[in-house]
């Protein structure tokens, strides 16, 4: 009997114990459901707010400790293999589709280098009835006869052209069709694509207009240079800077169709004034004169997160429509470098500027600013002058033993007479691949072909 009572007491105790635990489990479960409910409500309200203001984009990136880099320059290897790259291209209509095709060929090359590319094309058409259309009146007549955005035959063609063969590479392509009522604000939407994918592990985010030829060389140069800057200035200052790009065109009015830049006023004999002498950089980089219009830009996650709260008025994820040159300010990265907005410093490496040149495919804007036209050959000499000014014994193209390891040139003729003398090249090699200082007021090797345009005009008349 005593044993029976004892067992009954134990069972009652167990029942009470299990009942109290059950109540605790129910309370915990209810708390979890409440938290989930709040999260859902917050998400829905956030979506509603974004729909009311499509040019304000939420930043969901995890806050990072500035002392802990998102990538380490010490472990960085300059390669595109297995890099995740997000690219957004903004287009209007189909009139420049041939330029876009050239750009897409280059994006295919990224994939064949082993990169995993997520390509987003944001597009609309020109609507003559809209006062805010970014299209010029002359464009409406020119656009007649072109198909509307991306008919199925063009999609089928692009599927073939964007098929990647590399075992590690891939291209995932999405076309976002927007209303023409967005006008010049169409370029704003690359930011929403960037910030919507900020936590997807991309190594680099690229925005460009459809006629800027972004090459694999440009991408790997950016990734390499941004890590070099990190090693020079540290993680806390990295977002103070952005690796810059410069657009060039072929000067089609000349027989040689030389490569030229046209958007800036360069002081030939005072290039050193453009050097960025911030602490840690020590004149290794320069910046373009005046407003830094690029037509495109690249950034890493760390920069995009920091630029949302950068002073004085950056809010990179929230774009404000302003009259006049809105497209150039947003797409061309002018706001990024403007002291009144993001106040980021543009950096272009002094000794490898060519890796960050972007071909503006139309090759026609240079005629608008003939007084600013400068050949890339002359620009190269300006940069070599700046390097020599800092270090007159600098050897640029040598191996670890100090032996010249650049392009080799030699006389390969034993029978016929030669007109070429390679003495100048021999001296160039002896200096470790450095040009002598160039005085642009008296440059005997200035290959400007002054008579070229006159000869071209005469030959045109003869053909007529």
> Cβ neighbours of residue 313 under 8 Å, at least 6 residues apart?
340, 341, 342
Confidence at residue 423, expressed as pLDDT on a 0 to 100 scale: 93
Q: Which long-range contacts (CB under 8 A, 24 or more apart) does 146-152 make?
A: 146/93, 146/94, 146/95, 146/97, 147/94, 148/94, 149/93, 149/94, 149/123, 149/124, 149/125, 149/175, 149/177, 150/94, 150/123, 150/175, 150/177
- 376 belongs to a structural domain: yes
Nearest to 306 by CA among 207, 234, 239, 238: 239
What is the DSSP secondary structure assignment for residue 438, as one 8-state letter?
P
Confidence at residue 331, expressed as pLDDT on a 0 to 100 scale: 77
**Contact (CB, 8 A) for 332 and 293:** yes
CA atoms of 289 and 270, how far apart (whole Å): 12
- 296 belongs to a structural domain: yes
Confidence at residue 446, expressed as pLDDT on a 0 to 100 scale: 55
**Contact (CB, 8 A) for 357 and 245:** yes
Domain boundaries, position 295? 84-385
Q: Token pair for residue 134?
A: 């970014």
Backbone angles phi, psi at 402, to 5 degrees: 85, 15
Nearest to 90 by CA among 122, 125, 126, 120: 122
Confidence at residue 139, expressed as pLDDT on a 0 to 100 scale: 57
Confidence at residue 36, expressed as pLDDT on a 0 to 100 scale: 65
> Cβ neighbours of residue 229 under 8 Å, at least 6 residues apart?
238, 241, 243, 281, 285, 347
Backbone angles phi, psi at 204, to 5 degrees: -155, 145
- 247 belongs to a structural domain: yes
Residue 137, domain CATH: 3.90.550
**Contact (CB, 8 A) for 304 and 194:** yes
Nearest to 319 by CA among 178, 188, 180: 188
CA-to-CA dists, residue 435 to 176, 396, 413, 425, angstroms = 49, 10, 26, 10
- 196 belongs to a structural domain: yes
- CA-based torsion, 43, 46, 50, 56: positive or negative: negative
Cis peptide before 312 (omega within 30 of 0): yes
- 390 belongs to a structural domain: no
Q: Three-state DSSP class for 130?
A: coil
pTM recorded for the entire structure: 0.80
Q: How many domains does the chain have?
A: 1
Confidence at residue 220, expressed as pLDDT on a 0 to 100 scale: 97
Segments of the chain scoring below 50 in pLDDT: 2-5, 9-10, 44-54, 63-72, 449-464
**Contact (CB, 8 A) for 275 and 285:** yes
- 327 belongs to a structural domain: yes
The CA angle 308-311-316, to the nearest 5 degrees, is 25
Confidence at residue 451, expressed as pLDDT on a 0 to 100 scale: 38
> Cβ neighbours of residue 101 under 8 Å, at least 6 residues apart?
161
State how beta strands 259-261 and 296-299 pair.
unpaired
- 12 belongs to a structural domain: no
Confidence at residue 149, expressed as pLDDT on a 0 to 100 scale: 78
**Contact (CB, 8 A) for 103 and 89:** yes
> Cβ neighbours of residue 444 under 8 Å, at least 6 residues apart?
none
Q: What pLDDT, in 10s, does the model give residues 271-308? A: 999 999 999 998 899 999 988 889 899 999 999 999 99
Q: What pLDDT, in 10s, does the model give residues 232-249? A: 999 999 999 999 999 999
- 127 belongs to a structural domain: yes
């Amino acid at each position: 009997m005593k044993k029976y009572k004892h067992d009954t007491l134990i069972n009652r105790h167990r029942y009470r114990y299990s009942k109290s635990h059950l109540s605790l489990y129910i309370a915990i479960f209810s708390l979890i459901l409440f938290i989930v409910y709040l999260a859902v409500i917050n998400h829905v309200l956030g979506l509603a707010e974004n729909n009311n203001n499509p040019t304000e984009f939420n930043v969901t990136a995890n806050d990072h400790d500035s002392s802990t880099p998102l990538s380490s320059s010490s472990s960085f290897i300059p390669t595109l293999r297995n890099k995740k790259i997000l690219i957004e291209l903004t287009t209007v209509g189909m009139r420049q589709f041939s330029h876009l095709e050239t750009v897409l060929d280059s994006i295919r090359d990224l994939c064949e280098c082993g990169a995993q590319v997520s390509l987003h094309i944001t597009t609309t058409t020109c609507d003559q009835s809209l006062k805010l259309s970014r299209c010029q009146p002359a464009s409406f007549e020119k656009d007649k006869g072109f198909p509307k955005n991306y008919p199925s035959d063009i999609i089928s063609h692009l599927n073939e052209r964007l098929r990647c063969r590399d075992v590690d590479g891939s291209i995932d392509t999405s076309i976002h069709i927007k209303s023409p009522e967005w006008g010049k604000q169409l370029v704003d939407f690359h930011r929403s694509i960037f910030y919507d994918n900020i936590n997807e592990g991309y190594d680099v985010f690229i925005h460009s207009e459809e006629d800027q030829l972004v090459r694999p060389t440009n991408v790997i140069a950016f990734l390499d240079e941004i890590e070099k800057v990190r090693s020079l200035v540290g993680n806390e200052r990295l977002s103070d800077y952005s690796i810059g790009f410069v657009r060039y065109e072929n000067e089609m009015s000349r027989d040689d169709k030389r490569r030229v830049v046209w958007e800036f006023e360069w002081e030939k004999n005072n290039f050193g004034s453009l050097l960025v002498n911030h602490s840690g950089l020590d004149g290794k980089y320069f910046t373009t004169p005046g407003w830094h219009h690029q037509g495109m830009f690249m950034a890493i996650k760390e920069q995009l997160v920091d630029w949302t709260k950068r002073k004085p008025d950056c809010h990179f994820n929230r774009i404000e429509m302003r009259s006049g040159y809105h497209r150039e300010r947003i797409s061309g990265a002018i706001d990024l470098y403007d002291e009144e907005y993001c106040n980021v410093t543009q950096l272009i490496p002094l000794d490898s500027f060519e890796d960050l040149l972007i071909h503006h495919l139309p090759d026609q804007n240079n005629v608008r600013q003939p007084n600013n036209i400068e050949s890339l050959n002359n620009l190269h000499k300006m940069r070599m002058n700046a390097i020599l000014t800092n270090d007159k014994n600098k050897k640029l193209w040598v191996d670890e033993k100090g032996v010249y390891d650049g392009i080799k040139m030699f006389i390969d003729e034993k029978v016929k007479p030669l007109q070429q003398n390679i003495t100048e090249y021999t001296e160039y090699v002896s200096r470790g691949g450095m040009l002598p200082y160039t005085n642009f007021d008296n440059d005997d090797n200035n290959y400007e072909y002054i008579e070229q345009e006159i000869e071209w005009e005469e030959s045109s008349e003869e053909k007529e």
